[in-house]
């Protein structure tokens, strides 16, 4: 079996490529979101098929790899101050540079909102308070960064029974999310896009040790992969056979995303090694965060000006601009950091 030859170390080896695939699938998903409103029936049907089979699973991949990467970082250096400094610079510098442009443009110029709305949006508080999802991932990942030293302390490699602790953390997060749904449904509706994704972040943190140690897949790991396909099939059965949509699909995504990542690694390892495709994926992976914040904001601006992004030409323009701005953002942030160090 191929899984017998696969070990968790491949997640580190192909981390950039997985990040690249992640952001590409997210950009396609965002196009499909708008394509559901397209006048073309063919385009709407293609969007439905993509959303059903892949959907926003790129976010789960993002969060799994982020948890894994944070585990590496804090295991090498557990100084909390340095951890916060490094991580917040990685997110906040590009966000501040581009977020200021976007929010001023959107809130003050396009919609002429009051300055108080601009402050809430720029500080990302509007996601938690009002459910503004323009840049919800930034708001979410910043909170995860704040909490991560506690998560790492619970799951570091010196802790016995790491798997049990990890399982309990996932159960607690899911139970708390479900409790929020029943007690404060409006708050739940505002932020559920983030809350049901906490489990995959915890899972990525847990498997950070297995990735660092190049551990082979265990029988338990294979069971998780089986759980991923089972959860996906359960959603298919519910929607296609029962005609209902009650099971939280984001909750099923977190194991399904693990299965998808394993399949992607097998494909990359077998087909793309030393290939241009691998380098292209690596490029997208390198600028994945910048590509996220630029393309989701540019599509908002383009739609506001009537350049509908269910039009493939318009969306290609959106992505092309995102790539250019992302490279500039990354280089500007790195230059600002190097100037601060030399200064």
Angle between the N-to-C axes of helices 15-35 and 249-267, in degrees from 0 to 180, rounded to the nearest 10 = 130
Specify the pLDDT at position 89.
83
The reported pLDDT for the residue numbered 134 is: 93
Contact 247, 238 (CB under 8 A): yes
Burial category of 314 from C-beta neighbours within 10 Å (exposed 0-12, middle 13-18, buried 19 and up): middle
pLDDT at 246: 60
Q: In 178-196, which positions are buried (b, 16+ CB within 10 angstroms) versus exposed (e)?
A: eebbeeeeeebebbbbbbb
pLDDT for position 6: 76
| Residues with pLDDT less than 70, the chain | 1-5, 159, 238-248, 272-276, 338-343
- The pLDDT of residue 333 is 82
Q: Apex CA 250: angle with CA 75 and CA 145, to 5°?
A: 30
Give how many domains the chain has, as a whole number.
Answer: 1
> What domain range includes position 165?
2-342
Q: What are phi and psi of 7, to 5 degrees?
A: -130, 165
Token pair recorded at residue 3: 């899984």
What pTM value is reported for the model? 0.91
């Amino acid at each position: 079996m191929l899984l017998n030859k696969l070990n968790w170390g491949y997640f580190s080896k192909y981390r950039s490529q997985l990040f690249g695939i992640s952001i590409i699938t997210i950009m396609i998903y965002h196009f499909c979101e708008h394509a559901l409103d397209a006048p073309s029936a063919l385009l709407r049907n293609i969007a439905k098929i993509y959303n059903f089979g892949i959907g926003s699973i790129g976010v789960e991949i993002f969060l799994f790899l982020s948890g894994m990467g944070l585990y590496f970082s804090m295991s090498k250096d557990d100084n909390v101050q340095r951890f916060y400094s490094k991580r917040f610079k990685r997110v906040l510098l590009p966000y501040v540079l581009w977020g200021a442009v976007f929010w001023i443009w959107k809130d003050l110029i396009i919609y002429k909102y009051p300055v108080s709305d601009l402050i809430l949006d720029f500080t990302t508080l509007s996601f938690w308070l009002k459910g503004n999802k323009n840049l919800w991932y930034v708001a979410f990942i910043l909170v995860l960064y704040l909490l991560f030293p506690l998560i790492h302390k619970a799951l570091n490699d010196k802790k016995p029974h790491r798997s049990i602790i990890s399982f309990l953390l996932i159960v607690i997060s899911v139970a708390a999310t479900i409790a929020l749904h029943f007690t404060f449904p409006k708050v739940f509706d505002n932020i559920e896009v983030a809350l049901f994704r906490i489990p995959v972040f915890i899972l990525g943190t847990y498997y950070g040790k297995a990735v660092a140690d190049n551990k082979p897949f265990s029988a338990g790991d294979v069971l998780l992969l089986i759980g991923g396909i089972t959860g996906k099939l359960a959603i298919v059965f519910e929607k296609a056979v029962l005609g209902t949509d009650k099971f939280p699909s984001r909750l099923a995504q977190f194991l399904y995303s693990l299965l998808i990542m394993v399949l992607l690694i097998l494909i990359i390892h077998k087909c793309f090694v030393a290939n241009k495709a691998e380098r292209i994926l690596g490029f997208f992976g390198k600028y994945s965060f910048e590509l996220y914040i630029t393309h989701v904001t540019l599509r908002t601006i383009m739609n506001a000006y009537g350049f509908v992004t269910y039009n493939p030409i318009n969306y290609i323009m959106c992505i092309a601009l995102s790539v250019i701005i992302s490279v500039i953002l990354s280089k500007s942030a790195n230059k600002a950091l190097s100037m601060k160090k030399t200064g």
